[in-house]
Structure formats: structure tokens, C-alpha cells
A and B are shown apart, each in its own frame.
Chain A
């Protein structure tokens, strides 16, 4: 029990050494994984999205695959294909890159909607159904998708319903100047991730995921979450409030965050910490749709809803 908690903080410490100056985003990413959710990294190129995903996989001891999404990528390129084997006179399933524990889906908005939805279905169902047979995905299964918010030409932005499949959306942003110097001094990504050792293993990750489900959620906290959700539905500035599924996700993410913080029950602080990442991409403001709108809305939401006493 304590060993698990210790290895969890050890893996956080290891990650902090690789991704400099982004402790909150690291913890959010880890919480997302522990809450059995998938992560959408939205950022300009070159701020360390891929490094983050690879570092996570290495520290957690997970098998990893990377798919660069392009417009001509087919569903089979992600999921796998059934090939007729002459020797056995039967169709044999050749699993695609999705059959891994941590899938890095780079620039997911470049793929055609068909490929996108194939991936997103696999994410939701934790399995791949192809030619009448069902192939379960390994456990744990965690998708880190990235997309570049600036490039719009030739992309298929994920619709709201697909965005909902991602538990969290976070941005890394540029490093602080002092830390950027440190990054500049290093020769490259491998100099840092190369030295990483696996602190956890898949079994430990599954155990931690189970532990997340045991974190206590008090009625008072549910009151708070409900008040937050209700406020988004009443808010006239929003086209769409949070769905019950989003509410479930919020509680799950808050539980995972509480576990990382060492709380025995979920505190309002835990909800507040994950709310921007969980709700930011699900709330659609009316009228103008700039990138920061969701963030402003979440800040306004937190400012408007009091924590019950």
C-alpha cells in the first residue's frame, strides 16, 4: 500500500526532472491516466508534447506506440487488418499500433473524420471490432492525442462529441525563461528521456487506477460538483453546459487528483484543480470562439459558485 504511494511520488519526481517547470500539467496528465481517461494535448509544435508522452510511458513502464496522423491515414492503419493466411487457410488479425498501452496520436486533427472516429471508438470501448470479431485492447490503455490549435488548413477539427471522449485537454505552453536556458543547453530529447527508468509497471498502474476508485467522495462534495454543473447549464453565455458524463469524468479526475495529493477524500480544491482541464474543451461559449474563451469561462464558473460549508 505505502509502497505504491511511494513509487507514485517517485515517478512524479522522475517526470519533473524531464519536463521542466510544468508540474501542474504533469500531474494532470498522470491524474488523467489514473482516472482511466484519455488526454488531449493542445499546443503549438515544439513545446514538449511528445516528450511528455514518452516520458510518461517510460516512467510508468508502459508499452508505447506512436502514430503520426495524416489526411490519408486509414482506419486500418490505426486499428490493424485481417489478412488471409495461406498456410492456416484462415484470416489472421494483424493488430495495428492501437494495440499498445500508451498510444501517442500525433496531430489527431489531420486525419479524416473516418479515421478519427475509428480511434475514438476504440478509446471509448477499450476494444477493436473488426470483421465480426472483437479484439480487446491491452490494459491499461491510454491515448495521448495532440493537436496544433493554430494550423487550420487541411485539418478536421474534432467535433464537440468527439472532444467529449477526452477526459482532459491541457496545454503545456512555453517554459519559463530560466528553464528554457536549461532546455537549450541539453542536446536533445533523448538526453533526458534516455536516462529514465521505469518506476512503475502495468500491474502497479492498474492497482493505482483501482485505488482512485476508492477515494471517498462526500455528499458535500457532490453538492459542490452539482452546483458547478448546474451553473454551466444556467449560464446564458454558454451554448452548452456540462453533460452528466462530463460530471462523472470530473469526479473521476478529481479523485485521481486527490490520490496524487495524498487526500483521503476528494476536496473542493481537487475539483477546482482539474476543472479547467476537464471542462475547458467541453464548454462552448456563445458568440465568439477564441481559444481562451473556455479558460475564461471556467475561471468565471469557479468565481461564481461558492463552496458549500
Chain B
């Protein structure tokens, strides 16, 4: 049995771009999808291309049905759903791939492009970084090129021409898109929320055990960026407060289950520092701010809480960068006394653990009745005790503090914070461990600080009766340089395998890129109702409501479309005298009635094809076409008896009749008209 090619050669050629558009759409998701998903698409593509080139057979309908059901079940069982962003994208990828296997016509090609565009939208919902922008732009150009290729066989024959045309057409559309982006009425919240997937994201967690911060120290990932309104803190003041840990079991510090209330305002005479923070998603809803956060600027977009222990918390873990504004005090004083339950929680010690440390604390306490002196004495012990700062300390036993203080004497921030807090509690001073970051790099291009995971840090807070919670960083006693430098500069180079980021020029390049990315996130992705209001204020439309915006949008759209139309008309060089207009209207009416490509037909040909669909109007059509042909194309003498105005009138009279019969009776068979036209 001989097998026909899936489509005629010209259609097959025009279908190449839709294939490419779909493949690109699949690629946009490739790193987020299970491998078999992309492989399914690849296999289908190879099969389909093979069918076009070497006359392989496309699968029969029963096989396609089985494949469809199997893939739907597979997606459903693997993702436990068919909705949601990831499962939906997987379903779209697999079904689009199967569609490839039955793609024969231009219409099928359009469906492929539609699928590719859906995949693009899904990818946009998923990730919006600046680095993705070129990919999305390429996907858009490719999809538009595919539509152009499907629309015209001349363009379909040359992918390069199609891509060039698509680029040009999209360039025409760009100003309009920008105007809509800026002025289209916006809603207070997002129109839709992308459902969350769970991802492993590096960052601080709500527990700390020896070793947990070491993993972060080698991560270049950005935790957040901070822009200061006014003066910026000096390097030794750049403590960024994160999760506050209260529960200690002798080995691990945990957040614990203390009640959480809204934090009371701080006192103090240092004044507040206003910070604008853009937080990278950390998967846990922790938020950070300069120590010590005093209050949060309320925002409709980001719901953020400041707990009693001054830990910032987002109501739900974001998947996209979020922005918030926090006021911090560098020199805080607690205005309220410590509650009984707070004191109890922060004095709690595990029973029968770290006995030697408890004894040490007791000894120090006995000679220092004042809390502040006791704390100084404990710090002094650490300073004089020949402790070494190291990111690769020997592992600790279950009584971790005893092990650290009396055996290994080697550790990093987490170890010392843990030990110090234990000593304080053992001496009856409420203490808690605060995790966060210390440091931050100034990005001169963007005017903000970048804080990376590598700058993770832990310190201690103790309650002193005369000033409240006081930050004490025992690590700086052991390793004073940590205050001024990030973790990595303190470590031997080989720990980081000669990171690229150490070279000054890559550093600068990276800062530049990061500043661009930051601008993109803040100004473009983060463009919301408020930013729109700000923009409208600046251009002098402070009270614009959605109606005015709609009118503005429509106005800009109209203006732009007429500019483009004018440009296109000049390009095609069509003269528009009244008879031309009438003739064009006639061609359009015939097109609506089912005459194929009437723009490309000569007058007599057109009348003949029209007469096949409207047999009763045939004689009129033919007489009009003959007169038109004579007026337009015959020698001077031949058109003497014909009046252009009268002809125009006759065309105008005919138009409503064409429309009426188009509405009432379906055209006999447009395909037939097309076929006979090409005979």
C-alpha cells in the first residue's frame, strides 16, 4: 500500500514554522517538566517530520486515541491533577505533541501555533526574570512567523522571510503594547494566581543545627536586595534579621511554638531607616530587614507581619520576588517589659544536656551578679579560650555546646551563637538565637545592596533589664574580621573552586546585570495599580478612573492603528479613487460569500467565480466586471460609453443583495468555487 504524504508540498513547507514554534514552546518548559514530557514532544516531532520527508506513516486514529488516553492518565497520575500550572503545561505539551501526529492542514497548523502561544503564556506565569525575556520574545516572533507562513504560501516557502515579517509586524505592534501596558485599567490584585509547586530553594530555615549554615556559605544565590531611603548603615551595622529561634534541645535550635503577636513599637533615639526590600522567593515566607525592624509599611500587594520577636513573616510563601518597605532602628530600646511567657520560653533549657557548659555558666554567673557583666564575662571566655573560626569544624556530639566549648573549640557563627545563648540561659538571662545575614554588597549601578545566601549569619540576643533585647554577636569575638567581610573572604580559596565572582571585571558585569534584572522586576513585572497611579500623577492625570483609562487606551490604539494602516497603504501603493473603493468593497463582499482570494483575481475571473456562488446575480456581476475591465484596462475608445459614477452606483446597489444572500443561504460550496477558479 502506498502512503500519501501527510500534506501537499506547499502546506508541508508552511507547516515547518508551526512545528518550530511548538518545539520552542516545549523548550520553554523543558527544565521544569519531567524528561519524558519533552521526549514525547521530540518523538512526535521526529515522527511528523519523517512522515513529511520520507513518507513514514502517521499513526492511525485508534493508535492516536490510545496514546491520548494513556498520556492523559500518565499526566494525571504523576501530577495528581490535570489543572494547575505544571500539570496543565504538561498536559498541553503532550496533547500538542499528539496533535503533531495528525497535522495535515493549515488549520491544524494554526492549532499548533495556538498551543505554542498557550505554552508561552504558561511559561510567563511561571517565571518572569529578565533572563527569560529573550526566550519569550523569540517564542512570540516564532509563533507570529508561523501564523504568517500559514496565511500565505509565498511567505510559507521561506522561514527566513516569515521571521523577518513577523519581527517587523511585532515591531509595529510594540508601541501599542507598551501603551496598553502603561494605561490599560489595572486591578488591585493579580488577575489570577499561579498555583504553587514545591521547589527546593536555598535559604535559611526555621531551625539551626551545627552545620546548617555551612551549606549556605557556598551559595551565590541572592537572598534579597535593599534600597535605602536616605543614609545607609555602616558595614558593622548590616545585620539582616531573619528567623528568631527559641527552642533548644541541646543540639538544634528551633523556632518553637511561642505565641505570635504583632510587635510593639520600639523606642530609641537613633531615628528610623526606611528600606525598600525586594525578596527573592525562599519557599518559606521568611522576610528580612535591617536589625531591628520597628514597623512595616502597610501594602495591599504584600501582606507581611512583624511578630513579637521581630521576625518578619509573609502570610504565604511567594513564588515570585516580592517587595515591601520596613522601618528599622539601629539603636533600639524595647518600650515594653518582657512578658512572663516570653521570659519562660527564652530561659528554657533541655534537661540533662550539656552539663559542663551549665557548670561553666554557673561559675561565671556567681562572680557577675549584673546581667550585663555576666554577658561580658561569657564573651570574655570565648575571646580568651583559644577558639578558632572555621567553616569546616569537626562534627559535634549530642551535647553540642559541651563538645564545642571543651573539646573541638572550632566552629562558626551558628556554633558560637548557640553556645552563647545556652550560657546566658543557664545564667538566668533570657536569650534567643537570631538567624539572618551579615553584610551585603553595594551595587553602584542600581544604588542598592545585594545580600546573598553566602552571607548567612547567626547571632544572639539577650534581655537586659535597662534596655531590652540587646544584640550580642559572639562570632565577632572569635573572628572580628567577620564583621567587615563576607564569609567567603575568610575562607581558603579552594572552598569555592576559584569562583568567577572574585574577578573584579566579572563582579562589575554581574552588578550591571543584577541592576538590570532588579529594574525589570521592580518597574516592569512589579508594575501594578499603584505604579500606574504614580505614572498618571506624573503625567498630570491624577484622578483618572478606569473609564478615562479605557478611553485613553482606545485613543492610543486608534491613533496607532491608523498610523500603521496609513503606512501599509502607502507601501502597497493602492490608489483609492471612488471606483477603486467600490471595487474593493465588491471583492470583500465576494470574499465573505466564499470566493477564495478575490484580491488576487482579475475582474472577469472574479465575476465568473462570483456567479458560481450567486447564480441569480451572475449576469449583473459579469456586466459590472466587463465595464470595470473596459474602464480600467481597455484602450481609450473602448470605454467611451461607460460612466464611472454609474458603475460605482451599480456596484453599491449590488452589495446589499450579495450580503443578503450570504446571510440567508449558505454559499453553495466555496471549495468548488476555489477549485474551478484554479482550473
Contacts and interface: CB of A to CB of B under 8 A. Distances in A.
A303 B634 contact: no
B634 A218 contact: yes
B633 A303 contact: no
B600 A307 contact: yes
Interface stretch (A11-19, A36-44, A293-301): A293-301
B598 to A, nearest CB: 9
Nearest to B9: A296
B652 to A, nearest CB: 15
B152 A303 contact: yes
A302 B587 CA distance: 16
Interface string A13-29: 00000000000000000
- Best-buried of A216, A237, A266, A270 by chain B (most CB within 10 Å): A237
A265 B635 contact: yes
A308 interface: yes
Contacts of B597: 303
Contacts of A307: 599-602
B580 A309 contact: yes
B568 to A, nearest CB: 12
A272 interface: yes
Contacts of B156: 300
Nearest to B634: A265
Given A303-B154, A306-B572, A220 B632 contact: yes
Interface string B302-327: 00000000000000000000000000
Given A265-B633, A309-B580, A303 B153 contact: yes
A82 interface: no
A265 B638 CA distance: 9
Contacts of A265: 629-630, 633-635, 638
A220 B630 CA distance: 12
A176 B281 CA distance: 72
Contacts of B600: 302-307
Contacts of B604: 267, 269
A235 B158 CA distance: 8
B157 A268 contact: no
Interface in A26-61: none
B190 interface: no
Tell me if B's interface is mostly helix, strand, loop or mixed. helix
Contact of B633 (A267, A297, A299): A267
B573 A220 contact: no
Contacts of A285: 157
Contacts of B155: 304
A285 to B, nearest CB: 8
Nearest to B601: A307
A296 B154 contact: no
Most buried by B among A218, A235, A271: A218
B662 to A, nearest CB: 21
Interface string B559-590: 00000000000001111000111011001000
A299 B164 CA distance: 22
Nearest to A303: B153
A266 B630 CA distance: 10
Contacts of A269: 601-605
A267 B602 contact: yes
A237 B155 CA distance: 9
B161 interface: yes
Interface in B395-438: none
Contact of B574 (A263, A268, A309): A309
A118 B294 CA distance: 99
A299 B153 contact: yes
Interface centre among B154, B160, B580, B632 (most CB of A within 10 A): B154
Interface string B517-531: 000000000000000
A264 interface: yes
A220 B154 contact: no
A297 B152 contact: no
Contacts of A301: 154
A231 interface: yes
Nearest to B577: A309
Interface residues of B, number: 38
Contact of B157 (A223, A231, A263, A297): A297
A218 B152 CA distance: 28
A113 B101 CA distance: 49
Contacts of B158: 235-237, 286
A264 B572 contact: no
A301 B153 CA distance: 8
A221 interface: yes
A238 to B, nearest CB: 9
A300 B153 contact: yes
Interface in B1-40: 9-10
Contacts of B630: 264-265
Contacts of A267: 602-604, 629, 633
A253 to B, nearest CB: 15
Interface in A227-270: 231, 235-237, 263-270
Contacts of A297: 157
A259 to B, nearest CB: 13
A218 B632 contact: yes
Interface string B69-83: 000000000000000
Contact of B575 (A292, A300, A308): A308
A223 B573 contact: yes
A251 B597 CA distance: 23
A285 B579 CA distance: 38
Contacts of B154: 231, 235, 237, 300-301, 303-304
Contacts of B153: 296, 299-300, 303-304
B456 to A, nearest CB: 56
Contacts of A216: 633-636, 638
B580 A264 contact: no
B633 A221 contact: yes
A270 B605 CA distance: 10
A231 B638 CA distance: 31
A87 B583 CA distance: 75
B633 A220 contact: yes
Given A302-B600, A309-B574, A236 B634 contact: no
A296 B152 contact: no
Contacts of A302: 600
Contacts of B584: 309
Nearest to A266: B633
A116 to B, nearest CB: 31
A236 B602 contact: no
Contacts of B635: 216, 264-265
B573 A236 contact: no
A223 B572 CA distance: 11
Contacts of A308: 573-575, 580
A268 B597 CA distance: 14
A278 to B, nearest CB: 16
Nearest to B14: A300
Nearest to B604: A269
Nearest to A227: B573
12 contacts: A236-B158, A236-B161, A236-B164, A263-B633, A285-B157, A292-B9, A301-B154, A303-B152, A303-B597, A307-B600, A307-B601, A307-B602
Q: Which 6 A-B pairs have the closest CB atoms?
A: A268-B602, A216-B635, A304-B154, A269-B602, A265-B634, A309-B580
